[in-house]
Structure formats: structure tokens, C-alpha cells
Amino acid sequence: MRKKIAAGNWKMNKNYGEAIELASSITNAQVPEDVTVILGVPYIYLKEINEIAKANPNVFVSAQNVHQKENGAYTGEISAPMLKSIDVPYVIIGHSERREYNCETPEILKEKVRIALDNGLDVIFCCGEPLEIRKKNEHESYVKDQIEKSLAGLGDEDMKRITVAYEPIWAIGTGETASPAQAQAMHKAIRDYLKELFGEKIAEETAILYGGSVKPSNAVEIFGQEDVDGGLVGGASMKTDSFLDIIKSF
């Protein structure tokens, strides 16, 4: 049985008061027992929201990024040992916004995945194609290449701590969602590829999340697809009611 996961990505949103209020209201809500809820919050709120989340055994925090080096002269960056030192359980790596605006290459992402795992962090690894690739019908090979370059070579124990998030870039923050059939086809292709790289058991056990304009009105249908194990949600995770509706959409 794969985990069912509803992960929120708040990106660079919410001031301190708003962040604490949102995290508290999600944590204090009734979350279905079999759903893991992850709040991807800005770094400066991680420690406090991690403490808040501990009141609900189904709710966890995640960093939205981590630096690829252990420590050193990297002004403004946050390392995996730092996240570990405040007990952060998850980190999102490879979000398309970071690939694009921060020039994060697959090779850098591979280093980030390694250092995160070495420091006991579970990884939500994002992949997904831009619109021009989808139009050329090259999305499967594009996403496989992203996975190959950043995850190939990981061991079984490593892979048990990886969740894949498929997020077509053309659907992120645009209001346009992949159809349930498009999502299922891509998730199946990813699972088949994980099988090639890591074997049947790991592929069957790895949760694959869909991301891209998930909202209460489409979550039930998307989460109902065989190979979709939940969502990585931006906009709709930043309002208590809509995120709770999504959490209850499995």
C-alpha cells in the first residue's frame, strides 16, 4: 500500500502571523487517518511550524529547498545539517521554479538529493515538462531524463525516502490542470521507468504526486487515478478550507 499524500507548497507567501494561523488550523483539523499532510513552508517558519505540526501525527513540515553543500561560504543558503538540527522531516527538491529562476541543473539536484538523504531528510523530488515539450509529444522522455539524471544510482533504502512529484510546468499556477487521463498516463510512465531503474518493488512502493492547479473541484478525480498517490499543491494549499477539502479528496 502506497502512502496517500497531500503536500502544500506555500512558496514565498504568508507573513509570520498568517503562516502560524494557517499551520495551526490545518494541524487542528480532522485529517483522515490514512493521509499524510505535508506543509512546505518558508524556511524562517520551519522550526515553529514543525512544533505546531507535532500535535497531529498526520501533519509534517517540509523545507522548499536545501543547498547542495554541507556548510561553508554560501551566503543566504540553508544546509541539510541545519534542517536536520531542527528535526525537519521533508524537503522539496527540484521544483520547476527553482530549476528556472535559480538555475538548478539536474546535476546540482542530484547533489541536493544525496545530501538531503545523508542527513535523514525525506525528499519530494519534482519533475515535469514545459508546454513546448508537451506540444512536441516529448514529455515522457523529458521527464524520464530528469529522473535519470538526478535519481539514478540511489539504493533501495534511499528510494524508500523519495516521493516523486510530477508537475507539468504549463499547469503550475496557471489554472490549467492536466486532465486525469493525462496525469495517469504520465504517472504510469514514471512508475514504469522507476521499475527499470530500481525494480518492481521500489516502483510499486514509491508515491507519485501530481502537481499543477489542483483544487477541491478536481482533486477527487485526479487522486482517483490508479498511479496518482496525492498532490503537491500551491495556491489551493494556502487557504484552510480549500486545502482541507483536498486532503479529504482521496
The closest alpha carbon to 4, from 210, 237, 198, belongs to 210
Q: Tell me how far, at minimum, the Cβ of 38 lies from ligand PEP, in Å.
A: 12
Residues labelled as active-site residues: 95, 167
* Candidate residues 235, 243, 247, 249; the one interacting with ligand PEP per rule CB under 6 A: 235
Using CA atoms, how far apart are residues 164 and 146, in angstroms rounded to an integer? Answer: 11
Query: Is residue 129 at the binding interface for ligand PEP, with CB under 6 A as the rule?
Result: no
Q: Tell me how far, at minimum, the Cβ of 200 lies from ligand PEP, in Å.
A: 29
Q: Tell me how far, at minimum, the Cβ of 138 lies from ligand PEP, in Å.
A: 21
Q: Indicate if the alpha-carbon torsion angle 11, 15, 16, 21 is positive or negative.
A: negative
Query: Is residue 7 at the binding interface for ligand PEP, with CB under 6 A as the rule?
Result: no
Q: With H, G, I as helix, E, B as strand and everything else as coil, classify residue 14.
A: coil
Q: With H, G, I as helix, E, B as strand and everything else as coil, classify residue 59.
A: strand
* Residues contacting residue 160 through CB under 8 Å, at least 6 positions apart: 202, 205
* Residues contacting residue 169 through CB under 8 Å, at least 6 positions apart: 96, 128, 129, 130, 131
* Candidate residues 82, 113, 219, 232; the one interacting with ligand PEP per rule CB under 6 A: 232
Q: What is the DSSP string of 185-247?
A: HHHHHHHHHHHHHH-HHHHHHS-EEEESS--HHHHHHHHTSTT--EEEESGGGGSHHHHHHHH
- In the complex, which residue's CB is closest to ligand PEP? 234
* Candidate residues 214, 228, 244, 247; the one interacting with ligand PEP per rule CB under 6 A: 214
Q: Tell me how far, at minimum, the Cβ of 163 lies from ligand PEP, in Å.
A: 13
Instruction: Map residues 162-201 to x or -, x wherever contact with ligand PEP holds by CB under 6 A.
Output: -----x----xx----------------------------
User: Residue count at the site for ligand PEP (CB under 6 A)?
Assistant: 13
Query: Is residue 211 at the binding interface for ligand PEP, with CB under 6 A as the rule?
Result: yes
Positions touching ligand PEP (CB under 6 A) are 9, 167, 172-173, 211-214, 232-236
